[in-house]
Structure 1
């Protein structure tokens, strides 16, 4: 658990309320010269349908599996957002809101959404609904990201034509109608990028590099920091030889054929590619913002289910436990666990209570708990974390 985690703690309430546990932890963790947590708030868990022990154990396993999946989905969406919005931008935090609240505000004020996830449904059905909705959102994000990436690659490809030096960039915006010989059956233009430090030598030698080069036909069309762009008129039957000789001299022959309207066509291609990638980027960001909010809500609802199921497995029936949420101070996790372990050590000998509903089921719970590894680290109480480090801005 990292310093940015929220912790959800559940212990038997013995008929008490969340506020009693909250007061207890306020005294243990908040008061004093060194605050181990800033505050402790209630984490309200409704009563869900409880089925057989086998079903509870299976639900617990499925909840743990989907917990990891939901967390991974949120991390992927966070990466998408961060790849499109500058970390220095004030707008970044707006993409990590949950129903208009920060993750911190949402978690500490969490209430089960009964209109979307009816508590009259079975836990299995609720989990199925949560999972299917998250999967749909994740697939939609993946599709939108793929579409944007394709558009972005296409835009970069078109943009390369406008970038680079004269040995690389498109000549459509440079060569004009008056720069080329049009309508000749016998002669053609060769375009060549000449390094500036070789320009003098080129002008002195180009006429003799091949037969049938038109004397004094070299015309300088453009210059940048590295190259000068020339066109030379040659007879078509010697064009290949002339181009070969130019390459031998380390000049860059540009494969370019002038066409009327090419400049406008290339500009339109660039504008269309730019508009498309901007539109898809904007669409992806809007959807990622919605998806983050939705999946985060689903994730916290799943945590709520996990708290309920494991609390029933730990403490028995009927469900009677209190749960709170808090955020450990930096480097205080170890100390907090020491206090909690000492404060609730009695739970190790009292993992289940007498049941007014089903003595048989509680007996089965007691039998099964000894061999059931509910946590990678065994604790006498129920403790879940909500890692939010990647979403804090």
Structure 2
């Protein structure tokens, strides 16, 4: 979804100007009014500063919108539904919302200054961003914990949870002096293990090693030794690439392990559902804030470009596929006379008008510059 927002001088008749643009582009694009109320303007200096700030806010808003949309996409990837049906704004599709945009005067009063309205929008977006980050971090931590538990269920014998594999009869239990270690040995090292384990340290019970399990990469061996040499044996075994597993036999461990896995899995599903629900709700709020910020940019740049009092028509243009260049050429042909400095038509000794002209000229070196106010709003609802 790519929309172009433009404003041009209305010359006292906004409706006729809109109808003229619409007629010029009717073969190439869908054109709709983008009504922007009159705001309290303040001084030119504050307007120029606000123009620079709005560029930064625009980028930040877009990033936040996409981050929250990505959450919805990620957690609904397997749903047999188009994301356009999930990413709604005020219960409308994105397309419907933009084409029928109306300034929300209940939330953003027009008797407030432009700076106050911008601050309100930024605060709202930042608050939502903070909430979503916290929720996502909590979910990610639990997801990582679940993946760790699952790896212990499915990994090779060097990392896999051994409950259910090591049986009671494999271990020396309740001995004051002896203990049984469980060692994962690479399959290609069986000969070395059998030849070395009794001599890695003293106090090894001879011929105590038994292979109790095997997978594609490792064999699992027992070895019985005195408790006092466990640390030394573990260190020497590591040097030989034998992995002593951290394991203590517990009859209830397998049951507890499954209960923990079930609990963490259940929490993960609940958190995912809650995160998806919040993301869908907050996406609408964020996208609406972003479009309102775009409206502020159009208003501010139009005043700086065309002067006072505000007299311009703003529209949204959705070009048909492969007709973007034609739309651009048509607009340039119609409004190229503005020459990028419409203020020249009114140029006088008025110092404020000269300042407006100076601001406009600073933008001429921008490769995306047009002789009229233009901003793009690009959102890919299906991006990965």
TM-score (norm 1): 0.81
The equivalent position to 1:150 in structure 2, one of 141, 153, 158, is: 141
Supply the distance in 2 between the matched residues of 1:159 and 1:131 (Cα, whole angstroms): 41
Q: CA deviation at 1:237?
A: 6.3
**Does residue 213 of the first structure (1) align with residue 205 of the second (2)?**
yes
Deviations 1:8-37 (Å, cap 9, x if unpaired)? 12122233233x334323332223xxxx32
Aligned to 2:13: 16
Supply the distance in 2 between the matched residues of 1:140 and 1:157 (Cα, whole angstroms): 26
The equivalent position to 2:173 in structure 1, one of 174, 182, 188, is: 182
The equivalent position to 2:183 in structure 1, one of 192, 198, 202, is: 192
Supply the distance in 1 between the matched residues of 2:330 and 2:57 (Cα, whole angstroms): 30
Where structure 1 has 5 or more consecutive residues not aligned to the other structure, the ranges are: none
Q: CA deviation at 1:109?
A: 1.0
Aligned to 1:119: 110
Aligned to 2:353: 366
Q: How does 1:1-393 map to 2 (within 5 A)?
A: 4-18=1-15, 20-31=16-27, 36-37=28-29, 39-86=30-77, 90=81, 92-195=83-186, 213=205, 215=207, 219-234=210-225, 236=227, 251-348=242-339, 350-351=342-343, 363-373=350-360, 375=363, 376=366, 377-389=368-380
Root-mean-square deviation (Å): 3.5
TM-score (norm 2): 0.82
Any idea what SS the aligned residue of 1:344 has? helix
Deviations 1:208-253 (Å, cap 9, x if unpaired)? 66776365x5555333333343334455567678777866776543
The count of corresponding residues between Structure 1 and Structure 2 is 377
Q: 1:322 to 1:160 in 2, by over 3 A?
A: same
Q: CA deviation at 1:146?
A: 2.2
Any idea what SS the aligned residue of 2:142 has? helix
Q: 1:242 to 1:128 in 2, by over 3 A?
A: closer
Supply the distance in 1 between the matched residues of 2:243 and 2:192 (Cα, whole angstroms): 12
Supply the distance in 2 between the matched residues of 1:56 and 1:194 (Cα, whole angstroms): 72
Any idea what SS the aligned residue of 1:162 has? helix
Deviations 1:74-106 (Å, cap 9, x if unpaired)? 233334444544388636444422222232221
